[in-house]
Amino acid sequence: MARINFQDMVGVVTGGASGIGEGLAQAMRVRGMDVVIADLDAARGQSAADAIGAHFHMVDVADAGSVATLADFTMRRFGRVDMVCNNAGVGPASSIADMTLDDWRWMLDVNLWGVIHGIHAFLPLLRQAKRGFFLNTASLSGLAALPGRAGYATAKFGVVALTEVLAAEMALEGANITATVLCPGPTRTGIAFGSRHRKLDGQATGLRDFDLTGGGGVLAAHEVRFLEPREVAELCFSAMERGDLYVQTHPELASRVVARHREIEKSFEAALPARLPREMSLGEN
């Protein structure tokens, strides 16, 4: 595996005040990078930045203008940007039947549009420099969805697809810009309390925060170990050095994805005999 010298590169991390984002920021600083921690939580974001000698900038990833301002801040401060981690996200759960349209909009605004805004604001800068890294945080739920996670999974499936297309387009362009998508399993983060920043103003909601660390279901069946954010960050850096498209954290949960892909394969297999008689009869005429 080729080693990359990240010394003096500039990295931006949305959702960097806690969880995986904070772990990524710490991993950047250990490698000698200059870091901009961007988050909606100004107090926690500034504290996280002060702790590692990074810079803080308040951002609302659901607002395209706010993310554009983040890009401007980074360029004014450092004159360059090398790595963009579109990591901010929220994770409340709800059945589809209980979700309001506002619930859908909020989940997609943060978890999908937040990544779109990050790419839209920073891609021109990386293309101009002709090098760089995108790391977009999706989820294992972006590869195999579970009941009660429709809003979250819909957004995360979108992040996976978006990153796949971005990686393919950069390769076709011959740009020295890589795109990697992180699909983490259970990690010790604050995503269980993501609704604290949402302003409902009395509106109804079917979404409820929940704490994965309570176990149960798939997690209990596999005796899954919750990873620390820095562990996930190190996996991400290893993947980016290899030029990998995907970062996985929990091989013990791969069966969910394998089973889904097998069902897709079976649907193609089922289509073939269904088509043959008609094609043969058309050929005979």
> What's the DSSP call for residue 148?
T
CA distance 261 to 212: 25
Alpha-helical runs (H) found in the chain: 19-30, 42-52, 64-78, 101-111, 113-129, 150-173, 217-222, 229-242, 254-284
Task: Give the sign of the dihedral formed by CA 194, CA 196, CA 198, CA 204.
Answer: positive
CB 195 within 8 A of CB 92: yes
Structure tokens given for 191: 């995503």
Pick the catalytic residue from 78, 106, 122, 152.
152
- The region, left, alpha or beta by phi > 0 then psi within -120 to 50, assigned to residue 85 is beta
Q: End-to-end alpha-carbon separation of the chain, Å?
A: 58
- Tell me, yes or no, if 246 is annotated catalytic: no
CA gap 18, 180 in Å, rounded: 21
CB 87 within 8 A of CB 137: yes
Q: Six-digit token pair at 119?
A: 């790419």
Give which of 62, 108, 68, 63 is closest to 84, Cα–Cα: 68
Phi, psi angle pair for 161, to nearest 5°: -60, -45
CA separation for the pair 87, 110 (Å, rounded)? 10
Could you give the residue numbers annotated as active site? 152
